[in-house]
Amino acid sequence: MKTRARKAISVLLCAALIVSASGTAAFADVKEVSYNDGICEHHKVHTDTCGYREARPEVPCKHEHTDACYKYVGVESPGDATESGGNADRDRVLDCPHEKGNHDDSCGYQPAVEAHPCEFNCTECNNISFVNEDGESERHKATPVTDSSVTLWDTSENDGWYYVTGTVNFNGNEQNSKRIAVKGNVSLILCDNGVLNANQGIAVPAGSSLTIYGQSSGSGKLNASSSSYNAPIGGTPRDVNTETAGTAGTGNITIVGGTVNATVKIKGGGPAAIGSAYANNDPFKIEIKGGNVTANAGEGVGAGIGGKNADITISGGTVNATGGYIPGEVLPQLSV
Ligand SMILES: [Zn+2]
Ligand SMILES: [Zn+2]
Ligand SMILES: [Zn+2]
Ligand SMILES: [Zn+2]
């Protein structure tokens, strides 16, 4: 019987709650960023839909209790009857809706409102909002991905930040045609309702990294697939830029938000849907901190997420990973 190389899915579930040493310091940081005057000349004033809210303290309840706010508890027996109504042995207890948080228009109560930053995306300034790994809105200058003419994403502009809004298709018809490759530490923002279809996937070679962010609704989508020995997101057995075989390895992949679908579309091939390509042995990291991630090795024989020497950490999000098919063996599945 032949020995078959087996895929490994190693998963470390890590629920980390990091509490700032000083909550007040964190609050002060938020206050220092002033969005009062909008974010740029194209968004001078905040709107109902941009997400901006100023912090407001709680307005306390001014309700004063009346007799109607009390009730009597305990068993009333006929012998207890008194002139005042027969409650001599019963306890009078407060039963007021305002005490239970059910306020009305008369009491003036208003809950505190937390500040929220503006999430307006200025596509003229390329000043784009995203949700960071702490679930907070931030913004970064980013390069728009408007069509498939540029397949090398590097750090020469905007520190390697890119964003997708609307629908952008990269339709390659063979292994490395229209395969996107990142070079350096690249970040991608999937704007809400944006769709990036990359049918030959995104190469993340060793020494580079890809971090994927979403926005507040998480509806921005990356559909990455591969009809070759390339991983839909990750390793490439052949360097897409130099066309040299076997040297590219796999870099670190981090998903913070958005909807990421990765699918292998080759029968019997070995790439992971998210992870290394066939025959890659270099250690690399995959971290999933949020978002909706579906990774499917399809009819290949690779892992859904991982590959040899993959160090996988899942600390948030919804993850469905399905490993490839080996005749006669149980499909390895990971659902978190
Ligand atoms: Zn705004
Ligand atoms: Zn009351
Ligand atoms: Zn009240
Ligand atoms: Zn602007």
Q: What DSSP string describes 97-122?
A: GGGGT---TTT--B--B--B-----B
Q: Which residue has the tokens 């990091």?
A: 18
90 and 128 in a single domain? The answer is no
- From the CA of 191, how far away is ligand 1's center (Å)? 16
Total domain count, the chain: 2
The parent domain of residue 70 ranges over 59-113
Quote the tokens at residue 112. Answer: 């505190």
Q: What is the mean pLDDT of the chain?
A: 81
pLDDT of residue 301: 80
In whole angstroms, give the CA distance from residue 271 to residue 47. 46
Which residue in the block uniquely carries the two structure tokens 């059910």? 102
Distance 82 CA to ligand 3 centre (A): 33
Give the Å distances, CA to CA, from 255 to 132, 209, 210, 213: 10, 11, 8, 7
CA-atom Rg of the chain in angstroms:
28
Within-domain flag for 19: no
Final residue before a domain boundary, out of 113, 138, 159? 113
Report residue 184 CA to chain centroid gap.
22
Q: For residue 70, which ligand has an atom nearest its CA?
A: 2
Ligand nearest to the CA of 108: 3
Residue 95 in domain: yes
Report yes or no on 30 lying in a domain: no
97/148 same-domain check = no
Residue 264 has pLDDT above 80, yes or no: yes
140 with 205, same domain: the answer is: yes
Domain boundary pick from 113, 148, 175: 113
Note the ligand closest to the C-alpha atom of 126: 4
Evaluate whether residue 22 is within a structural domain.
no
pLDDT of residue 303: 87
180: in domain: yes
Query: What was the pLDDT predicted at 87?
Result: 53
**pTM exceeds 0.95 for this model:** no
The pLDDT tens digits for 7-54 are 333 332 222 223 333 333 334 343 334 445 678 989 988 998 998 999
- Distance from C-alpha of 137 to C-alpha of 255, rounded to nearest angstrom: 16
Nearest partner of 57 among 116, 112, 115, judged by Cα: 112
106 and 235 both lie in a single domain: no
Q: Are residues 189 and 256 in the same domain?
A: yes
For residues 302 and 308, give the distance between their C-alpha atoms in angstroms, rounded to a whole number: 10
Residues 169 and 274 placed together within one structural domain of the fold: yes
Domain membership of residue 51 (yes or no) is: no
Query: What's the gap in Å between 98 CA and the centre of ligand 3?
Result: 4
Query: Does pLDDT of 98 surpass 80?
Result: yes
Measured from the alpha carbon of residue 63, the closest ligand is 3
Distance CA 210, CA 161 (A): 10
Token pair for 206: 């060793």
CA of 290 from ligand 2 middle (Å) equals: 44
Residues around ion ligand 3, judged by CB within 5 A, are 61, 63, 98, 103, 107, 109
Co-location of 108 and 128 in the same domain: no
CA–CA dist 281, 26 (Å, integer): 42
Question: Which of 47, 78, 113 corresponds to the end of one domain?
Answer: 113
Q: How far apart are CA 151 and CA 147, in angstroms?
A: 9
Has residue 33 been placed in a domain?
A: no
pLDDT greater than 60 at residue 263: yes
- Nearest 5°: the CA angle 331, 320, 137 is 165
Q: Is 253 found in the same domain as 133?
A: yes
Is 261 in the same domain as 302?
yes
Among candidates 55, 24, 43, which has minimal Cα distance to 117? Answer: 55
**How big is the chain, counted in residues?**
336
User: What pLDDT digit, counting tens, does each position of 141-197 carry?
Assistant: 999 999 999 999 999 999 999 999 999 999 988 777 899 999 999 999 999 999 999
State residue 237's pLDDT score.
Answer: 76
Q: What are 13-19's contacts with CB under 8 Å, separation 24+?
A: 13/314, 13/315, 13/336, 14/313, 14/314, 14/315, 15/315, 16/315, 18/134
Residues 107 and 138 in one domain: no
Task: Give the Å distance between the CA of 31 and the centre of ligand 3.
Answer: 29
Ligand whose nearest atom lies closest to the CA of 96: 2
Ligand that lies nearest to the alpha carbon of residue 102, given by its number in the listed order: 3
pLDDT of 213-260, one tens digit each? 999 999 999 999 998 888 999 998 765 555 554 556 899 999 999 999
Regarding whether 226 and 298 lie in a shared domain, the answer is yes
CB 96 within 8 A of CB 69: yes
Give the model's pLDDT for residue 1: 35
CA 117 to ligand 3 center in whole angstroms:
29
CA atoms within 13 A on the CB side of 276: 24
Which residues sit opposite 170 in a β-bridge? 198
Please check whether residues 133 and 242 belong to one and the same domain: yes
CA of 63 to the centre of ligand 2 (A): 6
User: Residue 100 domain-assigned?
Assistant: yes
